[in-house]
């Protein structure tokens, strides 16, 4: 249940980012949302009187911040300037496999060869799709999206492990605060270089959503689910995310979903499904911290 709520929350991120980008620009949408979310995180930590992480945990929180607070938001926002939300959803379809790989590396698991074969097939499918959509070339926006996948996988895997120790909502709250030395100056510079241009109500709504839900509240549920059910197992729920994002893109942005887009999404989801079935998990998730909600 927790993981499904997180996936539903994240599935709206790309369409609503697209709504906000023309008015606010990629830096404000990508990193400004983290600055706004950090205020909510600080408030929650203060009200709950959450204990301070150890020095070692702060180092790991920095990895979470690099992955999901800075890396994924800015890379995906830059990419969405030049591509559609639906196109991005296909490439982000690699995220479940990338997260599973992160869990494998983080947890010391030894998957069988079909796991790696399926990951390779999914990657090739995405690259071929990107090349076809780019008239024979992989577009710069596709490279930004692939970088976003790598950053998100890092933040999900490390954050899922930390959530067992600190609690899901504490992980994202502390990660947002750790990232403030980067997000605050970047947001100020972004506002100076790209002042808001007559934001419409939909642009304001998009910025509010990615700040409050995508960057904060969604992680409450997602990290809680990863901690309870195991990173590799719960990450398979992300199989639904590309389909949901494609549906939101068509509904909210009236984006055209061509046969190539739908076909590539199906192939990527099939590849990721194989990685979930062939992984060789050793042991179950460790107990979740009592501090978790």
- For 13, counting Cβ atoms within 10 Å of its Cβ (0-12 exposed, 13-18 middle, 19+ buried), the class is buried
3-class SS of residue 280:
coil
pLDDT digits (tens, 9 = 90+) for 179-208: 999 999 988 988 888 888 888 999 999 999
Find the mean pLDDT for residues 158-185: 89
- CB distance 46 to 131 below 8 Å: no
What pLDDT does residue 283 have?
47
Is 207 buried (19+), middle (13-18) or exposed (0-12) by CB count in 10 A?
buried
- Residue-level pLDDT at 112: 73
* Residue 4: C-alpha distances to residues 67, 201, 221, 223 (Å): 21, 28, 8, 11
C-alpha distances in Å from residue 66, one per residue of 70, 106, 170, 263, 266 = 5, 17, 16, 32, 30
> Looking at residues 241-251, what average pLDDT do you find?
81
What is the b/e burial string over 148-183, where b = at least 16 CB atoms within 10 angstroms of the residue's CB? bbbbbbbbbbbbbbbbbbbbbbbbbbbbbbbbbebb
Average pLDDT over residues 155-168: 84
Q: Report the phi/psi class of residue 256: left, alpha or beta, with left for phi > 0 and alpha for psi in -120 to 50.
A: beta
- Please report the pLDDT score of residue 292 as a whole number: 43
**pLDDT for residue 65 is more than 90:** yes
Q: Which of 146, 150, 149, 120 is nearest to 131 (CA)?
A: 146
Q: So where are the chain's domains?
A: 2-278
Q: List, in order, residues 6 or more apart from 252 with CB less than 8 Å away.
A: 15, 16, 19
Which residues contact residue 224 at a Cβ distance below 8 angstroms, ignoring those fewer than 6 apart?
2, 163, 167, 168, 169, 288, 292, 293
- Residue 19 pLDDT > 50: yes
Indicate the range of 52-56, 74-78, 141-145, 260-264 predicted with least confidence.
260-264
Of 23-27, 81-85, 138-142, 229-233, give the lowest mean pLDDT range. Answer: 229-233
Quick one: pLDDT at residue 256?
74
The predicted model gives 262-282 an average pLDDT of 70
Q: What percent of the chain has a predicted confidence (pLDDT) above 70?
A: 86
More confident: 65 or 92:
65
What was the pLDDT predicted at 210? 93
% pLDDT > 90, the chain: 23
Average pLDDT of 227-248?
Answer: 76
Q: What angle do CA 64, 66, 72 make, to 5 degrees?
A: 100
Instruction: Please list, in sequence order, all residues whose beta carbon lies within 8 angstroms of the beta carbon of residue 112, skipping any fewer than 6 positions away.
Output: 278, 280
Per-range mean pLDDT, top range of 43-47, 124-128, 225-229: 43-47
In this prediction, residues 244-255 reach a mean pLDDT of 82
Residues 6+ apart with CB under 8 A from 43: none
Q: How confident is the model at residue 293 (pLDDT cuts 50, 70, 90)?
A: very low
Q: What is each CA distance from 187 to 33, 71, 110, in whole angstroms?
A: 9, 14, 42
Give the separation between CA 268 and CA 126, rounded to whole angstroms: 7
pLDDT in the model for residue 106: 65
Q: What's residue 279's pLDDT? A: 54
| Alpha carbon of residue 155 to chain centroid | 8
Confidence (pLDDT) at 87: 77
Triad 93, 95, 164: Cα angle to 5° = 140
Q: What is the pLDDT of residue 271?
A: 75
In contact, 227 and 168? CB cutoff 8 Å: yes
- The pLDDT of residue 109 is 56
């Amino acid at each position: 249940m927790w993981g499904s709520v997180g996936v539903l929350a994240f599935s709206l991120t790309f369409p609503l980012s697209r709504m906000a980008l023309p008015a606010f620009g990629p830096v404000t949408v990508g990193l400004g949302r983290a600055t706004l979310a950090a205020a909510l995180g600080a408030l929650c930590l203060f009200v709950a009187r959450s204990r301070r992480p150890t020095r070692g945990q702060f180092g790991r929180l920095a990895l979470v911040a690099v992955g999901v607070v800075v890396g994924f938001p800015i890379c995906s926002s830059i990419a969405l300037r030049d591509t559609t939300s639906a196109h991005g959803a296909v490439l982000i379809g690699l995220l479940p496999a990338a997260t599973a790989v992160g869990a494998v590396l983080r947890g010391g698991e030894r998957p069988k060869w079909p796991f790696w074969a399926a990951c390779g097939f999914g990657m090739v499918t995405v690259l071929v799709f990107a090349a076809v959509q780019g008239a024979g070339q992989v577009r710069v926006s596709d490279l930004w999206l692939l970088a976003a996948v790598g950053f998100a996988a890092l933040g999900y895997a490390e954050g899922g492990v930390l959530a067992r120790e600190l609690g899901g909502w504490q992980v994202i709250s502390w990660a947002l605060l750790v990232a403030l030395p980067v997000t605050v100056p970047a947001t100020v510079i972004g506002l100076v270089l790209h002042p808001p241009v007559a934001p419409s109500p939909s642009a304001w709504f998009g910025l509010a959503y990615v700040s409050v839900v995508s960057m904060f509240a969604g992680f409450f549920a997602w990290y809680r689910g990863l901690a309870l059910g195991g990173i590799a197992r719960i990450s398979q729920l992300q199989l639904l995310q590309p389909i949901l994002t494609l549906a939101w893109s068509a509904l909210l942005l009236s984006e055209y979903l061509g046969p190539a887009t739908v076909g590539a999404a199906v192939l990527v989801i099939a590849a990721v499904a194989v990685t979930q079935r062939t992984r060789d998990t050793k042991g179950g998730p460790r107990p979740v911290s009592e501090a978790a909600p």
